[in-house]
Structure 1
Amino acid sequence: MPQYNYPEIITWLEQKGIALYGNQFKILENDHPIIYKLMAYFLKDEQSAHQHNIDLNKGILLSGPIGCGKTTLMNLMKALTKSEHKFSIKPCRDISFEFIQEGYEVIHKYSKGKLYVSEPKTICFDDLGTENNLKYFGNECNVMAEILLTRYDIFISKKIPTHIITNLSASEIETAYGNRVRSRLRSMINLIAFDKSAIDKR
């Protein structure tokens, strides 16, 4: 079992952040508890994950106020992720716009994979809650609710996780997507949450 030096990895991640986002990038000490949990998960460090009560088989739901650095952190985590657990980040608003143009195939694309070929992948849905219910030929559809319900089926059958970034609380997720989605999310994700008072770093 490899032993990881977390403070050293944080320094390395900060260098990565500077390369990606510029010299003003800094990892704040206040955020270390959140980052340690994310690192335990993405390094698949069983001992540390167990200490933080994180299930390595489930996905991650990272929540917190606008501008606290959620998407930036998930982008940095890609650098720690082993190839078999690699994930892509997809903004929910982009998925909604694709739905307007392409219709229901988009739900298939982000759940089961390409049409006619089932090849589901690990995806991180960014900014869940910023997309709106959209109409395709007059039919209104809660696109992300449909995708998340299908992703649950994939998680159960193929053990492929889903990651989510959002500034919604659990009750707001239920209001926006219904109690079926909230109930499925409970069994398919680990919740890692910034404090409500986390500062806007933008």
Structure 2
Amino acid sequence: MNYRAPHIITEGAINYELGSLKGREIRYDFEKILFYLDAKGKLLFGRKFKIYKEDREILYKLSLYFIRDRDRCKQFGIDVDKGLLLSGPVGCGKTSLMKLFKYMVPHQRPYEVIPSRNIVFGFNHLGYKIIGDYGNSQSFCFDDLGVEPQGVHFGKECNVMGEILLSRYELFTEHKLKTHTTTNLNAQELEDRYGNRVRSRMRQLFNLIAFDKGTGDKRK
């Protein structure tokens, strides 16, 4: 990676310029960002990956967030210092986009995308150590939040992801450490799943960016 030109990303022998450098300021070009995301998406997920025209608004908001364009983010009610809660129907592309966008800003702190159900399976096997493991100073994106099973360790039930979100909230308030999530659930369903206390913390942890409810399943 070229730290002097973080807007230029090299994939193999190809350089992708996501914008231009004016002094110390990068002026990003949305069309060039889309071109890069399409190319990187095909490298990550195969030739069938594509950028859909109907997703342009979502992609624009995500681009503004990841390049930390505070002024334009403010117009959309997005706080660049908070994490993302990307919601939408099954198969709309949430997970792929969260895996993809981190490559667009290699100079920023990376995050790991972890399926929520895998974390619960880890809890069932290892117990409360898992909650501590994900309440540490790493950055994560918890994928498919809300559809994971209830955790059970030695017969004792635990709302594992709810507990982890409370830990992540403390990390955010004390150290400004971001957490991201994807979910198929709406706000009321999340509150039903995790309770009012966790839902209240989630409002402070996350910017909500949502696909339209009618977005089709791209995996079909």
Where on the TM-score scale, by shorter chain, does this alignment land: which range? Answer: over 0.9
Specify the alignment match of 1:117 in structure 2: none
Tell whether the 8 Å contact from 1:41 to 1:56 is kept in structure 2 after alignment.
Answer: yes
Q: Which one has a larger percent helix, Structure 1 or Structure 2?
A: 1
Match of 2:18 in 1: none
**TM-score of the two chains, using structure 2 as the length reference:** 0.86
**Partner residue, 1:26:** 50
Q: Does 1:92 align with 2:116?
A: yes
Which digits, 9 at most, give the CA deviation of each residue in 1:55-108, with x for residues without a partner?
011000000000000000111101113444211101001001100110000000
Matched-pair contact (CA < 8 Å) for 1:57–1:161: yes
User: Aligned letter for 2:140?
Assistant: I
Per-residue CA distance 1:125-164 (angstroms, 9 max, x = gap)? 0000121112101110000000001110110000001101
Instruction: Give ranges in structure 1 of 5+ residues lacking alignment.
Output: 114-119
Question: Are the counterparts in 2 of residues 43 and 82 from structure 1 also a CA contact under 8 Å?
Answer: no
**Cα distance in 1 between the residues matched to 2:140 and 2:97:** 15
Identify which of 112, 126, 148 aligns with 2:165.
Answer: 148
> Where does residue 69 of structure 1 map in the other structure?
93
2:144 is paired with a residue of what secondary structure? Answer: strand
Matches within 5 A, 1:33-44: 33-44=57-68
Aligned alpha-carbon RMSD (Å): 1.0
Distance 1:22 1:84, change over 3 A: closer
Q: Which residue of 1 aligns with 2:14?
A: none
Higher gyration radius (CA): 2
**Residue among 137, 146, 163 paired with 2:154:** 137
For residues 114-193 of structure 1, what are the structure 2 equivalents within 5 Å? 120-193=137-210
Q: Distance in 2 between matches of 1:134 and 1:94?
A: 11
Deviation of 1:193 (Å): 0.1
Identity of aligned residues (%): 49
Q: Is 1:17 aligned with 2:34?
A: no
SS of the aligned residue for 1:3 comes to strand
After TM superposition, the score normalised by the length of structure 1 is 0.93
Query: Taking CA–CA contacts closer than 8 Å with sequence separation of 6 or more, which of the two structures ends up with the larger relative contact order?
Result: 1
Q: How far does the alpha carbon of each residue in 1:152-198 deviate from its partner, in whole angstroms, 9 at most, with x for none? A: 01100000011010000000000000000110011111000000000
Residue identity matched to 1:66 = V
Alpha-carbon offset, residue 13 of structure 1: 0.5
Write 1 or 2 for the structure with the bigger share of strand: 2
Quote the Cα distance in structure 2 between the aligned partners of 1:50 and 1:3. 17
Residue type of the alignment partner of 2:182: I
Structure 1 residues 2 and 47, CA gap change in structure 2 (3 angstroms): farther
Q: Which runs of 5+ in 2 are unaligned?
A: 1-24
Q: Which amino acid aligns with 1:63?
A: S
